[in-house]
Amino acid sequence: MERSIDRARRIGTALAVMTFPPLFVVVFALHPNLLAFRPLLTLDDWTGRFHGRPLVHAAHAMMTLAIPLLVVMAVHFAQVLRGRGAWLGLVGGGLAILGAVILAADKGALCLVASAFDTLSEAEYRALRPGLVAMHARAGWLWLLWLLPLLPVGFALQGIGLVRERVMSWAQGGALIVGALLLANPDIEAISVLGSLLLTAALWPYGLRLLRAPSAGAGG
């Protein structure tokens, strides 16, 4: 029984590690103006990205549902790193999990709520502008959403630990670190797609090794 539980945990972890990066590629690629390469500085820029765009709302829902996969990965790497990278695994995992909670709040407050606004008439939607201004400015306790970069920073720290302990090669770990940090950009979707592709390149080989491994660690 214990062996079957360990095997199920290992396979589930591998699938989580391998699923979220390509899913993020799809999520970011579904956004409009993919090659704009400019941040969403104004309210009209921000609302123009999602207002009247059902595919974007679907992408945000997909990202919200993928958040548990991030938590699984952060916990796994924290458990794997027990030597020179142990503190990096622990601290990075804590930051990544906190960042995942912030990501859930971000998608709930600024994305899923916005999908409800899209069910209104245009006149009703225009009447919401003061509220949209407050949301865009992260007013009130929405300031907590500025902590979202903790998510990529946490995974980047774990990536350093994985390289230090030779769980990943320099190339693979570098792709993980750079890919994670590229996600900490001001809503430039093309950069986020590139970061997600790098994460896919780093994590798919790791996930495949984990599927074949006899224990919870993927080894070198």
Q: What is the CA radius of gyration of the chain?
A: 19
Q: Are 160 and 91 in contact (CB under 8 A)?
A: no
Rounded CA separation 112/91 (Å): 30
What DSSP letter does each residue of 122-155 carry, written as one string? HHHHHHTHHHHHHHHTT-GGGGGGGGTTHHHHHH
Q: Are 115 and 52 in contact (CB under 8 A)?
A: no
- Tens of pLDDT along the chain (220 residues) come to 557 888 899 999 999 999 999 999 999 999 998 888 888 889 999 999 999 999 999 999 999 999 999 999 999 999 999 999 999 999 999 999 999 999 999 999 999 999 999 999 999 999 999 999 999 999 999 999 999 999 999 999 999 999 999 999 999 999 999 999 999 999 999 999 999 999 999 999 999 999 988 654 454 4
Three-state secondary-structure class, residue 22:
helix
- Per domain, the residue ranges of the chain are 2-212
For 16, 22, 52, 57, 195, the CA distances from 12, given in Å and listed in that order, are 6, 16, 36, 27, 24
Reported residue count of the chain is 220
Residues 6+ apart with CB under 8 A from 12: 72
